[in-house]
Amino acid sequence: MDLPVRTRLAVAAGRVVSEVSRRAGTGQGSAVGGRVTLALDPRSLELLAAGHRVGIVSGTNGKTTTTRLLAAALATQGRVTTNSAGANLLYGLVGTFSEAAGSKATADYAALEVDEGLVPRAIEAVHPEVVALLNLSRDQLDRIGEVRMHADKWRRALDAVPDTAVVANADDPLVAWAARGITKVTWVATGQRWRSDAAACPACGSRLRWAPPGATGAAWSCTSCDFARAEPDVVLDGDELVLPGGRRIPVRLELPGWCNRANAAMAATAAAILGVETAEAVGAMAGVGAVAGRYEVVTVGGVKVRLLLAKNPAGWAETLDLIRPAPLPVVVGINARIADGRDPSWLWDVPFERLAGRLVVATGDRGRDLAVRLRYAEVEHRFVDDYREAVRTAGGGDIDLAANYTSFQDVRKALAPTNGSR
Amino acid sequence: MADPVSIALLFPELLGTYGDGGNAAVLAQRLRWRGVPAEVVQVTAGEPVPTSCDVYLMGGGEDGPQSLAVRELRASGALPRALDAGAAVFAVCAGYQILGNEFLGPDGSPHPGLGLLDCSTARGKGARRVGELVVAPDPAVGLPVLTGYENHQGVTTLGSHARPLGRVSVGRGNDAGDGSEGVVGDRVVGTYLHGPALARNPALADLILSWVAGPLDPLDDPEVDALRTERIAAAHSRHANRFWVRKAVR
């Protein structure tokens, strides 16, 4: 790759810092290295991304998995750079490209997960050919107000790049608001069921009305203005993807549940815009198993623990479907650090009543909030302050463990085989 | 058997941003655990607001949904009628602001409230008031320390007839310069405490229930006590921020 000297030096410096950070065990390192690179050359991200055919993925839930699926599809056509560790902020993107720039062969494609707030900046810097917008719902309550604001910012950023194709979830009114009026938009009916964050019309504030599901899913429309769900181009119908013209592609994934078929539908539609034939794209996605620890099974003291990530009420609605039936014990880890949102009141928007009939072990920094929630849900539970101990308390040969963002990271560290395995 | 105590959750799709629907679950369960039948009635926007419920709950919400909610409530007139008939009202954040004389709408102009509490809410300067909130209740209310989480832009000034729920120990509360938090009226409480408030403060839940269901047997709440101790300590810890930041970065 022909990069200016300044950029090459900035990349080299960033990679050294990343390597030091990684060896010191403070993390994956790419974000801290990216920070150094960007400080030394503010244009580095744009220069590093140049020459790639870029697809970016954003939304509240499913970013990491959808990006992984998109990368799998693109890999059928060429080399792919992707931020597979979920480094989805500015420094993480720079770090991702910097590390890839070290290898001899330059990648042809980039599949990038981008934080909801960074979408405008990412569009400016990496010039994506396609932007996939998955969904928008409440995630961090101490930052509320931002859900609608993100939709507005997405809209303005996309208006400025009319040549960029957009793949939009037609079933999410806030995504529809962001993508309304965009010329190169492909609407995907994912069958999304979460509606609690879109009771009011994003355009005029009146109530939204939801029609019962029809052939292309559940349509919604405003009771007062003309804002309504667009006619979808691509429809996820059960485990089949229906393409324009009616061709049906079976979606068979190793990843479980409706939410991952929806992620695959969005990824396959984005991949098609980048030139991957849909059946081939979906076929490549079938082999994706665990994604950054999600759905991974780890064995701790003879207990097989399946790891699930659920960050917010919308994510939990899906995760409760994935959790295996009672009496299988469940461990739930809840934190409320900056990346989680400091206010875990959202626990009361999750129907934990559905976990009744089994033991639930509450853990994490805010496990006591969860314990109180489970008491009122009349779910048998115990609070345990340590992840390995929580797994032992749950017992049994097989358990599910669901945790929110930083708790999930702590769980992966705590349950890693190298960490005091006995 | 007596009619169940009915708890109306008003507009959960508009005023339920901060898990405040949990307040309804808490009230209903605390009655059931004492052998008193209880039911939760969800009232969504566009439906008629019943006047026959015993407790009415409203939670937090964004500006747009808040003005939609107040439009519906002013048009229906159900809340004042229910209060006259002996019902209780517990409202949080956006719901609290609606109960006052006026609050600021999304367009920045004052909206008339329901006038059930003698207070008015203006838009506060600077960043939103976000964080743990600890309140020493007014001695006349007869409650232990209140704990919750606040997240609001509004600054609420109390009128001459208003009695505050308490004084702020940690956090901002009404934030009108008098150190007050919330308002208590005759069977009406407005507050900025989320958490949800009644999950973190069972004594407040029982006080509201006693207004409509009479004296109640005590309940053991060891898990809630542990949570309260943890949250109050976290709020008071002057190093709380640094501690959490350090943990998050690691």
Write down the domain spans for chain A: 46-91+104-285, 297-418
Suggest the residue from A338, A345, A346, A407 to mutate for an interface test with chain B (most B CBs closer than 10 A): A345
Please identify which of the residues B93, B111, B119, B152 carries the catalytic annotation. Answer: B93
Nearest to B223 by CA among A321, A161, A380, A318: A380
pLDDT at residue A175 is higher than 60? yes
Which of B:79-118 have CB within 8 Å of A?
106
> What ipTM was reported for this prediction?
0.93
Chains A–B, number of C-beta pairs less than 8 Å apart: 103
- Residue B54 sits in which domain range? 5-220
Of A339 and B248, more confident: A339
Which candidate from B25, B149, B224 shows the least CB-CB separation from A345?
A: B149
**pLDDT at B105 exceeding the cut of 90:** no
**What's CA A369's distance to the chain center, in Å?**
25
Q: How confident is the model at residue B246 (pLDDT cuts 50, 70, 90)?
A: very low
Distance of CA B93 to the CA centre of its chain: 6
- Distance from the Cα of B33 to chain A's closest Cα (Å) equals 10
Q: Has residue B158 been placed in a domain? A: yes
Whether B53 is catalytic is no
Q: How crowded is residue A10: how many other Cβ atoms within 10 Å of its Cβ?
A: 26
pLDDT, residue B247, reads 47
Residue A292's pLDDT band, with cuts at 50, 70 and 90, is confident
Exposure of A124 in the CB half-sphere (CA atoms within 13 A): 11
Per-residue pLDDT, A419: 57
- State which residue of chain A sits closest to B193, comparing Cα positions: A345
- Residue A106 confidence class, pLDDT cut points 50, 70, 90: confident
pLDDT at A148 over 60: yes
Q: Is B152 on the interface with A (CB under 8 A)?
A: no
List all residues of chain A from 140 to 179 with a beta carbon under 8 Å from chain B: 141-142, 144-145, 148
**B144-191: per-residue pLDDT in tens?**
999 999 999 999 999 999 999 999 999 999 999 999 999 999 999 999
Predicted local distance difference test score (pLDDT) of residue A145: 63
Average pLDDT over residues A81-95: 87
Lowest-confidence segment of A38-42, A215-219, B176-180, B196-200 by average pLDDT = A215-219
Q: What is the reported pTM?
A: 0.87
Fold of A297-418: Protein-Tyrosine Phosphatase; Chain A (3.90.190)
Is B194 a known active-site residue?
A: yes
Using one digit for the tens of pLDDT, what is the confidence trace for A294-319? 999 999 999 999 999 999 998 999 99
Task: Give the dihedral of Cα atoms A79, A84, A90, A93; nearest 10 deg.
Answer: -20
pLDDT above 70 as % of chain A: 94
> Which B residues in the span 117-146 are in contact with A, Cβ-Cβ below 8 Å?
128, 130-131
Q: Which residues contact A93 (CB under 8 A, 6 or more apart)?
A: A34, A45, A83, A87, A112, A114, A118, A122, A125, A126
Q: Domain for residue B232, yes or no? A: no
Q: CA A316 → CA A29, A194, A306, B1, B53, distances in Å?
A: 30, 10, 16, 38, 31
**Is B66 a domain residue?**
yes
What confidence score (pLDDT) does residue A186 get?
A: 98
Model confidence over A29-48: pLDDT tens digits?
678 888 999 999 999 999 99
Tell me if A337 and B248 make a contact (CB, 8 A cut-off).
yes
| A339–B244 C-beta distance less than 8 A | no
**Is the pLDDT higher at A383 or at A32?**
A383
Shortest Cα distance, chain A CAs vs residue B22, angstroms: 5
**A345 and B14 in contact by Cβ < 8 A?**
no
| Pairing outcome for strands B55-58 and A185-189 | unpaired
State chain B's maximal CA–CA distance in angstroms: 57
B204: tokens are 């407040």
Q: Where does the pLDDT of residue A396 fall: very low under 50, low under 70, confident under 90, or very high at 90 and above?
A: confident
Interface probe, candidates A174, A225, A376, chain B, greatest B C-beta count within 10 A = A376
The string of pLDDT tens digits covering residues B129-153 is 999 999 999 999 999 999 999 999 9
Which helix (H) or strand (E) element contains residue B119?
A: strand B119-123
CB contact under 8 A, B19 and A347: yes
What is the total count of domains within chain B?
1
| Strand ranges, E, within A184-333 | 185-189, 208-210, 220-222, 234-237, 240-242, 248-250, 297-300, 303-309, 330-333
Give the pLDDT band (50/70/90) at residue A86: confident
CATH number of the domain enclosing B108: 3.40.50.880
Is residue B81 in some structural domain? yes
pLDDT at A70 over 50: yes
Residue B108 lies in a domain: yes
CATH topology of domain A46-91+104-285: UDP-N-acetylmuramoyl-L-alanine:D-glutamate ligase (3.40.1190)
Does B114 fall in a domain? yes
